[in-house]
Structure 1
Amino acid sequence: MPLADRFLDIRRDPHSDELLARGGDSEAHSVLQRAGFSAVVRVHETYHRAPTGLTQDDETPLATDAVARLRAAGYHVDCDEEFDTDARPASHLPLGSSVAHLAERIRQATTTQEAADALTELTAAHDGILAALDDVLTATADFHDGLGQASDPYTARRLRYLADEHLRVIRSDLAHTRNTLADRHAPHPGRSTCTGEAPATERERSAVCACRPRRARSRPRRHRSPPD
């Protein structure tokens, strides 16, 4: 990780008087979002701002909380004097870390059954992660139905479209993949279980396991626009 990603500034812009946070990596951005900031994505920069409609009295505790959370996570934060604090709140693992753990289980899987077991947590019909995500999208759509602004019905339709089209395809494909893996009952030919220990018959008992750590692979995402 570049050292520059460990530094952030949280200050009021001298020209617009906006409360802005700049710098940091994706983890720092998550901390800022949980503290109440909103992300602004530009071509060459992602920064964060306070939500619109807040007074400066409202913004001060928001910024102070962000400074405290970031410093507790090990970031170096320069800030306006009014936001400086010695507080270091305790941090807790976010819900997303549980999903990330499933990816690690799949990376470490040596059999089709182990991979299928991990995917089951995503695809379980009643209480899987994707079923819960469907419920969140539907609840958010229902919330927008009666919110009152002209754009709210469109937002509700868009959220239902995401649940009914995109998420439905993901759930169906992953469930099929999970079932196919569960039926194969086969070891992965490119992976083996390694204890990291030398066998009792090995003359060089100080030998170190030479297995290479496996690397995660990522694939580009494609997006489709929802209908009007």
Structure 2
Amino acid sequence: MPLADRLLAVRRDPHSGKVLAQGGDSEAHSILQRTGFVPVVRLHETYHRAPTGLTAEEEARLATEAVARLRAVDYPVDCDEDFTTDRRPPHYLPLGAQVTQLAERIRQATTTGEAAEILTELTAPRDGILAAVGEILQATADFHDGMDGAADPHIARRLRYLADERLHVIRTDLLHTRNDLADRHAPHPGRSACTEEVPATERERSAVCACPPPPRAVPTPPPPGATGPRR
């Protein structure tokens, strides 16, 4: 990862007086948001700000906590003197990162059965990941039903629409994919599990394993005219 993607600055903006965090990659942005910062997405940049309604002291505590968490995972952070700290809180693997491990397991799957088993973690009707996401959307809609903002009823309806319509489509399509893989009972033609064993008939016993080398990718020819006209 380029060093420039890991550099961050957490400072109080001299013009607005607000605490801003600028720079960093997606992991740093996740840490900032879990600390309490709010992302601001612009056309040419993304930065984070402290939530509105905080006192200067509360903003300083928020910024100090962010600096501590970022430095705990070795992000170089340039910050105001008021925000610096020697504290390094423990960093635990977040829930989303644990779910992402399912993608790596699918990338390593060598049979349709293995892939189907992993997808079941998403599509299981009662305790699958997508079912849990639907519960979260419904619970958040219920939360907005009890609020008194003018837009809260609309937000609640929108969240229920996402749960009942959009998420339902994703889950249904993925369930069909999972079921199709479960019925195929086939190895993946481009993947094979390496046993790291050398057959007894192998004369060169220094060989590490008997697996054939991975297939070479056929280079894609350039589009017509990409090389320019002949002179």
User: How do 1:1-228 and structure 2 match up within 5 A?
Assistant: 1-207=1-207, 211=213
- How far off its partner does 1:206 sit? 3.6
Distance (whole Å) between structure 1 residues aligned to residue 88 and residue 78 of structure 2 = 15
SS at match of 2:87: coil
Larger Rg: 2
Shift, 1:204, TM fit = 3.5
**What secondary structure sits across from 1:68 in the alignment?**
helix
Q: 1:40 to 1:205 in 2, by over 3 A?
A: farther
1:10 is paired with a residue whose SS is strand
Q: Which whole-Å deviations, capped at 9, do the CAs of 1:4-54 have from their partners, x for residues lacking one?
A: 011100000011111000010000000000110011111111100001111
Q: Indicate the RMSD between aligned Cα atoms, in angstroms.
A: 1.6
Runs of 4+ in 1 over 4 A off after TM superposition: 208-213
Report the secondary structure of 1:98's partner residue.
helix
Structure 1 stretch displaced more, 128-137 or 190-199: 190-199
Q: In the aligned structure 2, how far is the partner of 1:205 from the partner of 1:97?
A: 41
> For residues 141 and 36 of structure 2, what CA distance do their matches in structure 1 show?
22
Does the residue aligned with 2:54 lie in a helix, a strand or coil? Answer: coil
Query: Secondary structure, in 3 states, of the residue corresponding to 1:183?
Result: helix
| 1:175-204 superposed Cα distances (whole Å, 9 cap, x missing partner) | 111111111111111111113444444344
TM-score, length-scaled by structure 2: 0.88
Structure 1's unaligned 5+ residue stretches are 214-228
Q: Percent identity between the aligned chains?
A: 73
C-alpha displacement of 1:143: 0.3
- Change in CA separation of 1:200 and 1:90 when aligned onto 2, cut-off 3 Å: farther
The alpha-carbon deviation at position 211 of structure 1 amounts to 4.8
Distance 1:211 1:64, change over 3 A: farther
Question: In the aligned structure 2, how far is the partner of 1:40 from the partner of 1:90?
Answer: 27
Q: 1:208 to 1:3 in 2, by over 3 A?
A: farther
What's 2:221 paired with? none
C-alpha distance in 1 between matches for 2:42 and 2:208:
48
CA shift at 1:99, angstroms?
1.2
- Aligned-partner Cα distance in 2 for 1:114–1:202: 31
Please give the per-residue CA displacement for 1:131-183, whole angstroms capped at 9, x wherever unaligned: 00000000000000111000111111111111111100001111111111111
Gaps of 5+ in 2: 216-231
